[in-house]
Structure 1
């Protein structure tokens, strides 16, 4: 079996893994980046599009966000549509901060380019990834080479497990000492991409008894939409005629017709969250969705992955400079923000989905009316609006 010696093996080339790898390389710490998919695949795979400003500025300070800052649209307001009326929420005026609209595949493309062109060792299309000797001073990661079919071993000091919810890294945490906390919202979101110009400048949240709907501008030619649907629903049950009828109904306001176009993506997202604690085992440290998943209700996933990656890269850098404290405190530092975001996501879910409990096979008028009361407080109280805005933009989430 061929082998490579390095300091850190990074498993997974999503935003978390790529951020870790780039930051380590820039500190002169050797690493090998392993990714199961091809480079072309990860650079073209549609994913989330929102980054909080603090995350962008952190990447910018490290020289990882030049194109992002030049090209990304900035948004500082969104719109609730409920009972046929618009309610604009200007969170940038309350916090002084914006969101950056930048599809995840664009960030991945940037970070891959910076790593590879800077001399980084990235290996794509690797198969059958396995982790070994994680509690020893010298763990390793083995994989099958996509070109030769031979096994290869990467020996290292640490493994950064950044390969997401369906990766292998989190399967190596021992069951008897690992706690996995889960929450299922009991609904799905029909995720849609349409070749249609945006019908609004920013995000629109439609709150309706028939179910939640959302509009999110992605480019001058493409718009992202979401429709609340039953958990486990079949996308085939949503022909284009039905999709556009529901979007027009749930997002209806005077002079607010939704621009229609050809649907180029249609899939159902299962709305659930989980948190794995601790986020480490021996010389393995998890980051991003390997350790926690937050449903896209509050558009927090990509920023949260960057948060983990910044902390992990800084902690590993400190370890190589004879400071063990940041690595010892990594779990706690990550999980404070993770749990605050989980709570916020659950709170916002009730605002967005609660009114749909008024209809359906098991009506729950109490839940529906409580959700409307929550929305009235948010729109009517400056104090409530300020607190919500700070959480929505990620200004204060490490309580």
Structure 2
């Protein structure tokens, strides 16, 4: 195996680079998860999660992936045969839809072109037509990781309210939490789904549900089977700083450190940093003469940019060249976008020079792959980074 000098550039949209201080926190000795030291950790940690979600209510932590947190959101609030409204905004929205159907839910799946977010007007139209209020929940992916499109959750909440509909609002923030402005409580979200390995700068292994009072009330009547995912015993144990099963203790050490880092920078500054890096990335893509996949500038993602290549080029070939020559990983195209796009992650523990190096690697890789680009694209990004 060839030895490479320098650090690998992990520029996929998650898992993201884990800061050294978080790695050091995770490396602490494991402690008794039934003892007082663990209770002290949990009682300090759980309240620190709330500002990141924009909530004063509970945030439930699972030893799981984001997919597990999806399932928890559904089984705690819904019953077999319930109707849910969902939107085909990309690969992960499609997977969530498929999960809902496997759980025995009836999904009204609004088709999409994978270049736009969930349409608030379609929400209003579907809910206004549902005079019997048979739709129990609306499922929205806030930031679609496969496309770099961010749905306008406040507008969707407004559409639900205008229709006077009682449906729950369930939102996936897996690739937006801690990177893009998000407000669970202010936006009237009932369950926010997230995980650890993206904006929270941790390895995979923690899933989250932030829940509203309305969601908690719904959970009392929900009849989908649940045991491991059941909110009630977790919330009960959390009051004393414990969990009803073995928690991911060392990841919780890392989570506390990551939350401290977000607090030190300040969430508004975190969001502004991500927006600035996203703008610089789009400046490079447009300057190269290529196309950003997201078709609506109101829905540009702050955490990743998907780049659409012409049909004459293979995006996976570009990725392979960049990995082989420059030791940098970019996100692949998923589902219907396979071979058509590559994704540049610019979220988490990330700064101007990291972005400059990332875009330089993409620039060189595109040229080596025979993609005709305007070399001024890289300069456009550097000018933006250097001007602020």
| TM-score, scaled relative to structure 1 | 0.23
Which of the two has greater strand per residue? 1
Which of the two has greater helix per residue? 2
| TM-score, scaled relative to structure 2 | 0.23
Higher RCO (C-alpha 8 Å, min separation 6): 2
